[in-house]
Amino acid sequence: MTEILSEKVDELSEQMAKQLNGKEEEVDNEDDKVDPWNVTSNSKAGVDYDKLIVRFGCSKLNDEILTKMETLINQKVHHFLRRGIFFSHRDLHLILKRYEEKKPFFLYTGRGPSSSALHLGHLIPFMFTRWIQEAFNVPLVIQMTDDEKFLWKDLTIETTKKMTKENVKDIIAMGFDVNKTFIFSDLSYIGKCPEFYENIIRVQRSVTFNQVKGIFGFGDSDCIGKIAFPAIQAAPSFSSSFPFIFDGKKDIPSLIPCAIDQDPYFRMTRDVAPRLSLPKPALMHSSFLPALTGAQTKMSASDPNNSIFLTDTPNQIKNKINRYAFSGGGATVDEHRANGGDCDIDISYQYMKFFMEDDNRLEELRTEYSSGRLLTGDLKKELIGILQKVVAEHQERRKTVTDEIVEQFMTPRKLNF
Amino acid sequence: MTEILSEKVDELSEQMAKQLNGKEEEVDNEDDKVDPWNVTSNSKAGVDYDKLIVRFGCSKLNDEILTKMETLINQKVHHFLRRGIFFSHRDLHLILKRYEEKKPFFLYTGRGPSSSALHLGHLIPFMFTRWIQEAFNVPLVIQMTDDEKFLWKDLTIETTKKMTKENVKDIIAMGFDVNKTFIFSDLSYIGKCPEFYENIIRVQRSVTFNQVKGIFGFGDSDCIGKIAFPAIQAAPSFSSSFPFIFDGKKDIPSLIPCAIDQDPYFRMTRDVAPRLSLPKPALMHSSFLPALTGAQTKMSASDPNNSIFLTDTPNQIKNKINRYAFSGGGATVDEHRANGGDCDIDISYQYMKFFMEDDNRLEELRTEYSSGRLLTGDLKKELIGILQKVVAEHQERRKTVTDEIVEQFMTPRKLNF
């Protein structure tokens, strides 16, 4: 009964969102732009996530559901949840109900491999996914969409494969448990698992060009590979795409932690799932780690001065933050002491929210900086220390990831859960 | 040098064909309709194949190239060639040149599996392919596009797989050599061979929606699976899609014997190949076995009274021909004796051209029937005998095709050539 009602609410809110979307496109093109290829905002405080919840028709991760989660897992939720960095969801309550009833679910997340090193923004969904995997003790599948990169960028298949391998090493270095985690690249997994391809074409039969045009903005001059690609991102949402993990069971739902810009893929997937008699995936959405120079855009590998890479040296990290991290402080020390700093737009403070685990210290910094007692320089200094540690520790762990370990993670096999 | 010139001629004739096409669509919609899903003509003599050669921009299989072939293989060419049933080609001269230079090539043909039994029309490309495989002693790959059927028809994947298996038994019964032939179903082969999927997305990246719209008439409300499908039909044209047969070599060209309605897929493939640094497939095109009731349409499984199935009994064959086979004879015996019969539109005579091997007897029938000395009934009687034999022999051979033999043909493996 709860599930039926929830489906209904979900449908209605999605319909409402679609109507709103249509309207907004006509009258309000000043809005935040959030899709899988673009994230921009006109506001210094970045994307308005509350508005996005309404536009996308998803639900806020409110205190009620977080408290429920804490009761179930018998621990405090991750600071990404406490601080609203993961801020929205679809059907998380159904997943929690399953957990309560000791019914299985699995986690699915992914990444389009990049030629450059990963940056701090890439860490967010994976840090969170690792936490949620540990808290709930569930299997996880990670899709590397090397075919997507091949289709969108002017790269050879060989290059995308190499990128994937390097990126997988970084992902493994984030601390995933090989006994519970399967990492796969589309380019090789499609050629290994007929059940995966079957789900892909099931989705491809259920989605028209008109629909992907509406959802993703594809046009007539786009290649047919791009047009068909959303089905490939959709297919791992279904347990039947991994027969060796789930013994061919079709009815185990997935929970997908991802940045909110990936939501269009899964709105489409959720739309299609009932027609395929498959469970809709549930989602948890994160906000974006802002670019160094300000929250109008997210951190992006294409601008090295706007990003901190997982390969940066302590010195590079220090210099980038000191030079580029946008300050919410006053123009002069006197002004700052008089008016205080604005944490909502100060990039150093925003990064602390992502990477400082200590809630008390974070609150202390917020009040001190807002009051003007703490200067931007002090805030930056503390952030530099934190990020140097995060990056150095990652680099240490990555050194230990051998080709053999990559092979282990990427071999289709039974997982323990 | 020959190859460069031939490429140029090919390009120019294709351009010309495109221009002609554009024009014809505007001014002349009375023309024969020939695409992968429709074949219809307004003429009782059926499709005008000479016109089609010009429209499609392909080349006639003329005496010169057939004589060349006979010299090379040291035997008479198949009666399908002698009688213009296979009537057109693309780049066959390049394949013959390779054969002369003892360079390898391979054959590729295929079939979209059907729920009903195969009919006589389905035999044509396979009979010819078997002959050409024997004459040139080359490997052959046969693609069963079960995914295509899934995308176009309201069928489950399980049903399409069953259809494939039954259809494969019929194909094997046509006498292919298991040591030189690999038969595969898309649904399972894509999930077994990463190199095949890689070629598929290489093609998918090189073709836009605009192009498939132009070539195949797809529209915005078509599902994205259909839109992407032509790349799947294209991929087996390339030897690198079969690494276990060709040791990963990319430069071995294919020769594709098929009915002319499949040409659009391979025009697209030939357009894409040079951009992928892969050889263009060569083609040999057959005309269609007409429907029993007349050459305005081809034989089709959807109308049982218009088709002779490979499962028909001798009596069914006799009755269908006697009742439905369109006659080119006079309305009365007297009229027929006076004016003679018209072999160009007489279905019984047309079927003889496909299934009677004896050239002398065929010519005798033609003159006798044209002169009016032979009656429609006599012609039908002779045809019935021939077809009863063709079908009965097929049924005998099909009985011997076990599941194990199917498995052998469909296992990716090295071939002997």
- Does A12 touch chain B if contact means CB atoms closer than 8 Å? no
User: Do A268 and A319 fall into the same domain?
Assistant: no
* pLDDT tens for each residue of B263-299: 999 999 999 999 999 999 999 999 999 999 988 888 8
**Cβ B190–A188 below 8 Å, yes or no?**
no
- Residue A378: how many other CB atoms lie within 10 Å: 15
pLDDT at B23 over 90: no
User: Do B237 and B340 fall into the same domain?
Assistant: no
Determine, yes or no, domain membership for B333.
yes
User: Do B216 and B314 fall into the same domain?
Assistant: no
**Cβ A224–B202 below 8 Å, yes or no?**
no
User: Do B266 and B337 fall into the same domain?
Assistant: no
Determine, yes or no, domain membership for B412.
no
- Does B190 touch chain A if contact means CB atoms closer than 8 Å? yes
Determine, yes or no, domain membership for A22.
no
**Cβ A205–B151 below 8 Å, yes or no?**
yes
Partner residue facing B223 (CB), from A157, A192, A204:
A204
User: Do A318 and A206 fall into the same domain?
Assistant: no
- Does A224 touch chain B if contact means CB atoms closer than 8 Å? yes
Partner residue facing B224 (CB), from A190, A221, A228:
A228
Determine, yes or no, domain membership for B190.
yes
DSSP string, A355-385: H---HHHHHHHHHHHHHTSS-HHHHHHHHHH
Q: How do the pLDDT tens digits run along chain A, 417 residues long?
A: 445 545 554 555 555 444 444 433 333 335 788 887 787 888 888 888 888 898 889 999 999 999 999 999 999 999 999 999 999 999 999 999 999 999 999 999 999 998 878 999 999 999 999 999 999 999 999 999 999 999 999 899 999 999 999 999 999 999 999 999 999 999 999 999 999 999 999 999 999 999 999 999 999 999 999 999 999 999 999 999 999 999 999 999 999 999 999 999 999 999 999 999 999 999 999 999 999 998 888 888 888 888 999 999 999 999 999 999 999 999 999 999 999 999 999 999 999 999 999 999 999 999 999 999 999 999 999 999 999 999 999 999 999 999 999 999 999 999 987
- Does A207 touch chain B if contact means CB atoms closer than 8 Å? yes
- Does B212 touch chain A if contact means CB atoms closer than 8 Å? yes
**Å from B153 to nearest chain A CA?**
10
- Does A146 touch chain B if contact means CB atoms closer than 8 Å? no
- How large is the average pLDDT for residues B222-242? 98
Q: Which residues contact A44 (CB under 8 A, 6 or more apart)?
A: A294, A295, A296, A345
User: Do B67 and B165 fall into the same domain?
Assistant: yes
**Cβ B205–A220 below 8 Å, yes or no?**
no
* Helix axis angle, B120-136 to B347-355, nearest 10°: 30
Determine, yes or no, domain membership for A408.
no
Determine, yes or no, domain membership for B101.
yes
Q: What's the CATH number where A162 sits?
A: 3.40.50.620
pLDDT at B17 over 50: no
**Cβ A231–B220 below 8 Å, yes or no?**
no
Q: What is the pLDDT of residue B10?
A: 53
- Name every chain A residue with its beta carbon within 8 A of the beta carbon of B223: 204-209
Q: How many domains does chain A have?
A: 2
pLDDT at B2 over 90: no
Q: What's the CATH number where A340 sits?
A: 1.10.240.10
Q: What is the pLDDT of residue B22?
A: 41
Across A79-88, B43-52, B164-173, least confident range:
B43-52
Q: What is the pLDDT of residue B4?
A: 52
Strands B106-111 and B254-259: parallel
**Test mutation, B144, B161, B201, B203, chain A, max A CBs within 10 A:** B201
Please name the residue that has the structure tokens 């040291």.
B74
User: Do A243 and A114 fall into the same domain?
Assistant: yes
User: Do A174 and A222 fall into the same domain?
Assistant: yes
How many Å apart are CA B206 and CA A259, to the nearest integer? Answer: 30
Q: What is the pLDDT of residue B410?
A: 98
- Name every chain A residue with its beta carbon within 8 A of the beta carbon of B154: none
User: Do B69 and B191 fall into the same domain?
Assistant: yes
Structural domain of A263: 39-291
- Name every chain B residue with its beta carbon within 8 A of the beta carbon of A212: 224
Average confidence score pLDDT of chain B: 91
Q: What is the pLDDT of residue A383?
A: 97
- How large is the average pLDDT for residues B43-53? 86
- The candidate with the shortest Cα–Cα distance to A379, out of A393, A367, A389, is A367
Determine, yes or no, domain membership for B341.
yes
**Cβ B191–A188 below 8 Å, yes or no?**
no
Q: What is the pLDDT of residue A34?
A: 80
- Give residue B100's identity as a one-letter amino acid code: E
- Name every chain B residue with its beta carbon within 8 A of the beta carbon of A207: 223-224
- Name every chain A residue with its beta carbon within 8 A of the beta carbon of B147: 201
If pLDDT is split at 50, 70 and 90, which confidence band does B30 have? low
Determine, yes or no, domain membership for B275.
yes
Give the torsion through C-alpha atoms of A194, A140, A251, A243, to 10 deg. Answer: 30
User: Do B286 and B308 fall into the same domain?
Assistant: no
Give A238 or B21, the one with higher predicted confidence.
A238
Q: What is the pLDDT of residue A28?
A: 38
Q: What is the pLDDT of residue A203?
A: 98
Taking one residue from A and the other from B, the number of pairs with CB-CB distance under 8 angstroms is 124
User: Do A379 and A309 fall into the same domain?
Assistant: yes
User: Do B263 and B309 fall into the same domain?
Assistant: no
Interface confidence: ipTM more than 0.95: no
